[in-house]
Chains A and B, each alone.
Chain A
Amino acid sequence: MRKWHVWMTAGTLLLSGELSLNGKLQAAGWNMPVGVTDISREVHSLHMTIFWICVVIGVVVFGAMFYSLFRYRRSKGAQAAKFHEHTTVEVIWTAIPLLILIGMAVPATATLKKMYDASEADLDVMITGQQWRWQYSYLGEDVNFISSLATPREQISGDQERGENYLLEVDQPLVLPVGKKVRLLMTSDDVIHSWWVPELAVKQDAIPGFVNENWVRINEPGIYRGQCAELCGKDHGFMPVVVQAMEEEEFDAWLAERKSAASEEAAGADREWKLDELMERGEQVYGSICAACHQPNGAGLPPTFPALAGNQALLDDREHHLDTVLNGVAGTPMPGFRTTLSPVELAAVITYERNAWGNDTGDVVQPSEIAEQLAE
């Protein structure tokens, strides 16, 4: 009776210890976040359950071990026993872990099945990984944009003080409505990436040639940050994921605004653009899309990423340049951008490449010209 009491007290203490400890660890960023979806809560509770199971087993096993190590020291005159087998004990300590594991497999299976049920989604978003940025398309909504790292290079090199969201900030976050089931379809244009936001408990590989499915229903508005989780080359550490969750009305307004901006952009393809207009826009596009490989100064990183500054093969052959940017180069890391960028952006970036860093060809590539090529 007394013994039971002691155990109960110890159990209660351990449990309350768990709660306060858990709270503290969370606050300091030592533990898995509880997250902001029902799934992420379940995952967190699975994590804590299996963790405490391990702790209990560890206490028992290491307890017995340290007791033996201390109690049976030869220096204290311990005499070795001779036993070396005990089938009953062995069967028991094989069976108990088996039962614990079955007990653990049941809730894990239930959670996994929920995670796999992406049916009846309210909104579909296509996520495409590219070296080293994410492209988000709201399917059926004509909204499509690229999200790249916004942390300035000066912070990475240490010339500038690092901000609060160092390496976890992007130019345009993925915007999602709160309370809606959003299906996330993932693929990649080049190598395998992995889209991960810890607070949403979503991590899914984006694989070229495959479309993976996942889903999320966010409970609270806010900004949630994550990173690419699969080694994808040089700038793997520099392709964050940022999700901004907002109330439904706010989201609808945002979506409408993006749609009208997209149609404006499309209209821009029809008019005649001036060189300096294109250069200004091109510099922007180059900075967010091309500079990671070909470098801000156009020098590239040979032999994998060739220089653009003074690249006669491109400068002498305008068609070749257009073809390279639109369709990519097979067998190399260079992707085609015909579906990723708008005609204006394509024209601007090609014009920029043909005139920046002393290339000075004076060539102007008009958006209308690109639009024609795309239509072919």
Chain B
Amino acid sequence: MASLPPKHPVQQGTADAAGGADAHHHPPKGLLRWVLTTNHKEIGTLYLLFSLLMFLIGGVFALVIRAELFQPGLQLVQPEFFNQMTTMHGLIMVFGAVMPAFVGLANWMVPLQIGAPDMALPRLNNFSFWLLPVAFTLLLSTLFMPGGAPNFGWTFYAPLSTTYAPPSTTFFILSLHIAGISSILGAINIIATILNLRAPGMRMMDMTLFVWTWLITAFLLIAVMPVLAGVVTMMLMDINFGTSFFNAGGGGDPVMFQHLFWFFGHPEVYIMILPAFGIVSVIIPTFARKPLFGYASMVYATASIAILSFMVWAHHMFVVGLPLVAELFFMYSTMLIAVPTGVKVFNWVATLFRGSISYEPAMLFAIAFVILFTIGGFSGLMLAISPADFQYHDTYFVVAHFHYVLVPGAIFSIMAAVYYWLPKWTGHYPHLRLSQWHFWLSVIGVNLTFFPMHFSGLAGMPRRIPDYSLQFADFNMVSSIGAFMFGLSQLLFVVIVFMCARGGEKAPAKTWDGAVDLEWTVPSPAPLHTFETPPQYRPAEADH
């Protein structure tokens, strides 16, 4: 593990204008160095490795699900354990894999892209990372508790998650609290960094889209994580202290749980996709060698999506029996989200138009993101039509929809980011041939897995069932084959990343010829300390 992160030429003092390293720093050696580090690059690496580990664990849970669903009937696991797997898969992927991966990328790249020496609050940064292993060890330990792990889905609707929940639910609540604190602290740090530590001469409007989307995401995080904390605390009270927030028998309201959860949950969805928009908006111009089309609109559309995300939560609840007016309100507001999202897609396409396009692995993933995310957007538009949602709701059509926006959406953007910035982190290009194999296997695997789910959902298969009637058998078999293909090809990703950390073709400071942002002015690998003397920011040529 200690050998993996970039071998920073820390004490060598690379005499570079941007990366003046100081020689008086002697960080602790070995494992303790990682526990105590306050360096944004090391913490970024920790976040990314943690997220990779969680991605693999969550992936194994997904494969348990897909293996059971390979054929009708119960073969491998019992329904109780199946429900634990769906729950843990969702929780681990959302809170353990996607969110920490984005925070890790922000840790590494936000200071480098704005010319800051580090995050604004380095010790807080260390603390927010180390909360995560605690939270997820606690969460995973519930699998070994009597009564098993939480089994009520990642949306944990009450009263299934309160009165009818296994005893381990209290531990699940505690772990969500810890993970939530970590997210809030991380968000505060990112906002403080972006607002205060930009290089002299860099105005807000000079920031890259990645920094912009993360700034907006951080505000979303601060706005909604306390709501999550509130709702799980109410669950805690219901379970352990005899209150009846969500218990109809005691005068409580199970529907209120869903309102609270989705008031958190819908912005949460955008927390998992806005940074992805930012990454893709940085990568596509680089490899199209052309400035991002409609930079201003991209920023505004991001803000617009963020604002709308607070007004659409009840579209997750179209079948709970909302009053007609509410149903219409949430249908209209949800349909409106398609507009700024459409603007983004059009702008990416317009950036490609009349560019000079090359197909490095990062670009392949970014292009796949645009196409497959748009397919997820289309099914999202269909789901917004409330009368039709009565048929789609809680079926595999929904599963297909959100996996299209999360896997070839969020996850592909993270992979694109890794391929884009790995040379900056390690000083080496990732192995080209293997990266291409990884890309094509992932793209084929992902579509094999999730495209048939549209059909099984429309044909009537509810989600979260361990066994299904015979007419869904073919779709499920294809999905399972695709899932194993996708899952196994991620091992290739792990190999590529570790190989790249150990060696490979040397990358220059400006790794990609079309890259313009500040991080490409520091050497590759980036020394442990960069921009200790703030760079004078000169707006890129594109800005004139």
A-side residues, CB < 8 A to B, are 29-33, 42-43, 46-47, 50-51, 54, 57-58, 61-62, 64-65, 68-69, 72-75, 78-86, 89-90, 93-94, 97-98, 101, 104-105, 108-109, 111-113, 115-116, 131, 155-158, 162, 164-168, 190-192, 194, 196, 198, 201-205, 207-210, 212-213, 226-238, 301, 303-304, 330-333
Instruction: Pick out which of these stretches binds chain A: B3-11, B16-24, B117-125, B318-326.
Output: B318-326
- CB of B254 within 8 A of CB of A50, answer no
- Given known contacts A81-B355, A82-B290, A303-B167, A46 and B388 CB-to-CB distance under 8 angstroms: yes
- CB of B295 within 8 A of CB of A31, answer no
Q: How far is the CB of A166 from chain B (nearest CB, A)?
A: 5
- CB of A46 within 8 A of CB of B387, answer yes
- CB of A61 within 8 A of CB of B349, answer yes
In whole angstroms, what is the CA distance A108 to B339 when docked? 18
Q: Which residue of A lies closest to B543 (CB)?
A: A84
Contact partner, B248, options A111, A209, A237, Cβ 8 Å: A209
Q: How far is the CB of A264 from chain B (nearest CB, A)?
A: 34
- CB of B465 within 8 A of CB of A227, answer yes
- CB of B391 within 8 A of CB of A108, answer no
B253 at the interface (CB under 8 A from A): yes
B14 at the interface (CB under 8 A from A): no
- CB of A105 within 8 A of CB of B324, answer no
In whole angstroms, what is the CA distance A31 to B466 when docked? 22
- Chain B residues whose CB sits within 8 angstroms of the CB of A29 once the complex forms: 459-460, 471
- Chain B residues whose CB sits within 8 angstroms of the CB of A82 once the complex forms: 290-291, 542
Q: Give per-residue flags for B444-485: 1 if the beta carbon is below 8 A from chain A beta carbons, else 0.
A: 000000000001001110111111111100000000000000
- Chain B residues whose CB sits within 8 angstroms of the CB of A84 once the complex forms: 290-295, 351, 542
Q: How far is the CB of B465 from chain A (nearest CB, A)?
A: 3
Instruction: Pick out which of these stretches binds chain A: B145-153, B193-201, B412-420, B486-494.
Output: B145-153
- Chain B residues whose CB sits within 8 angstroms of the CB of A31 once the complex forms: 455, 458-459
- Given known contacts A65-B370, A65-B371, A94 and B255 CB-to-CB distance under 8 angstroms: no
- CB of A233 within 8 A of CB of B164, answer yes
B403 at the interface (CB under 8 A from A): no
Contact partner, A237, options B166, B289, B467, B470, Cβ 8 Å: B467
In whole angstroms, what is the CA distance A268 to B374 when docked? 64
Contact partner, B464, options A213, A226, A236, A331, Cβ 8 Å: A236
In whole angstroms, what is the CA distance A30 to B164 when docked? 36
B131 at the interface (CB under 8 A from A): no
Instruction: Pick out which of these stretches binds chain A: B32-40, B155-163, B434-442.
Output: B155-163
Q: How far is the CB of A127 from chain B (nearest CB, A)?
A: 13
Q: Can you list 6 contacts pairing A with B, beta carbon distance less than 8 Å?
A: A32-B458, A72-B357, A112-B331, A209-B252, A231-B153, A237-B464
Q: How far is the CB of A243 from chain B (nearest CB, A)?
A: 14
Most chain B CB neighbours (cut-off 10 Å) among A84, A235, A238: A84
- Chain A residues whose CB sits within 8 angstroms of the CB of B378 once the complex forms: 54, 57-58
- Chain B residues whose CB sits within 8 angstroms of the CB of A237 once the complex forms: 79, 462, 464-468
- Chain B residues whose CB sits within 8 angstroms of the CB of A85 once the complex forms: 293-296
- Given known contacts A72-B352, A72-B354, A231-B83, A108 and B371 CB-to-CB distance under 8 angstroms: no
Q: How far is the CB of B543 from chain A (nearest CB, A)?
A: 9
Contact partner, A112, options B146, B353, B387, Cβ 8 Å: B387
- CB of A204 within 8 A of CB of B385, answer no
Q: How far is the CB of A61 from chain B (nearest CB, A)?
A: 6
Interface size on B, residues (CB 8 A): 94
- CB of B358 within 8 A of CB of A30, answer no
B343 at the interface (CB under 8 A from A): yes
Nearest first, the 8 closest Cβ-Cβ pairs linking A and B are A209-B248, A237-B465, A212-B321, A54-B378, A81-B354, A80-B356, A84-B291, A229-B394
- CB of A47 within 8 A of CB of B391, answer yes
In whole angstroms, what is the CA distance A301 to B458 when docked? 35
Q: Which secondary structure characterizes the binding site on chain A?
A: mixed
Q: Give per-residue flags for B513-537: 1 if the beta carbon is below 8 A from chain A beta carbons, else 0.
A: 0000000000000000000000000
Q: How far is the CB of B81 from chain A (nearest CB, A)?
A: 10
- CB of B321 within 8 A of CB of A209, answer no
B328 at the interface (CB under 8 A from A): yes
In addition to A168-B469, A231-B464, 19 A-B residue pairs with Cβ atoms within 8 Å of each other are A54-B378, A54-B381, A58-B375, A58-B378, A61-B349, A64-B349, A69-B357, A81-B290, A82-B290, A83-B354, A90-B294, A108-B387, A158-B75, A162-B470, A192-B157, A201-B391, A212-B320, A235-B79, A303-B167
- CB of A90 within 8 A of CB of B343, answer yes
Q: How far is the CB of B385 from chain A (nearest CB, A)?
A: 5
In whole angstroms, what is the CA distance A79 to B288 when docked? 10
B-side residues, CB < 8 A to A, are 72-75, 79-80, 83, 146-147, 151-153, 157, 159-160, 163-164, 166-167, 248-249, 252-255, 288-297, 319-321, 324, 327-328, 331-332, 335-336, 338-339, 342-343, 345-347, 349-358, 367, 370-371, 374-375, 378, 381-382, 385-388, 390-391, 393-395, 455, 458-460, 462-471, 542
- CB of A231 within 8 A of CB of B460, answer no
In whole angstroms, what is the CA distance A109 to B332 when docked? 10
- Chain A residues whose CB sits within 8 angstroms of the CB of B159 once the complex forms: 190-192, 208
In whole angstroms, what is the CA distance A166 to B226 when docked? 45
Q: Which residue of A lies closest to B147 (CB)?
A: A303
- Chain A residues whose CB sits within 8 angstroms of the CB of B167 once the complex forms: 303
- CB of B390 within 8 A of CB of A43, answer yes
- Chain A residues whose CB sits within 8 angstroms of the CB of B395 once the complex forms: 229
- Chain A residues whose CB sits within 8 angstroms of the CB of B367 once the complex forms: 69
In whole angstroms, what is the CA distance A168 to B468 when docked? 9
- Chain A residues whose CB sits within 8 angstroms of the CB of B79 once the complex forms: 234-238
- Given known contacts A93-B343, A209-B249, A238-B467, A202 and B390 CB-to-CB distance under 8 angstroms: yes
- Chain B residues whose CB sits within 8 angstroms of the CB of A213 once the complex forms: 321
Q: How far is the CB of B495 from chain A (nearest CB, A)?
A: 28
In whole angstroms, what is the CA distance A232 to B465 when docked? 10
Contact partner, B73, options A30, A97, A157, Cβ 8 Å: A157
Q: How far is the CB of B66 from chain A (nearest CB, A)?
A: 15
- CB of B331 within 8 A of CB of A47, answer no
- CB of A72 within 8 A of CB of B462, answer no
- Chain A residues whose CB sits within 8 angstroms of the CB of B542 once the complex forms: 82, 84
Contact partner, A203, options B335, B342, B390, Cβ 8 Å: B390
In whole angstroms, what is the CA distance A213 to B321 when docked? 7
Contact partner, B371, options A32, A62, A112, A198, Cβ 8 Å: A62
- CB of B470 within 8 A of CB of A164, answer yes
- Given known contacts A190-B159, A204-B319, A205-B321, A97 and B338 CB-to-CB distance under 8 angstroms: yes
In whole angstroms, what is the CA distance A332 to B151 when docked? 16
In whole angstroms, what is the CA distance A166 to B74 when docked? 13
Q: Which residue of A lies closest to B164 (CB)?
A: A333
Most chain B CB neighbours (cut-off 10 Å) among A115, A194, A228, A237: A237
- Chain A residues whose CB sits within 8 angstroms of the CB of B459 once the complex forms: 29-33
- CB of B327 within 8 A of CB of A112, answer yes
- CB of B147 within 8 A of CB of A208, answer no
- CB of B73 within 8 A of CB of A156, answer yes
Contact partner, A33, options B295, B320, B460, Cβ 8 Å: B460
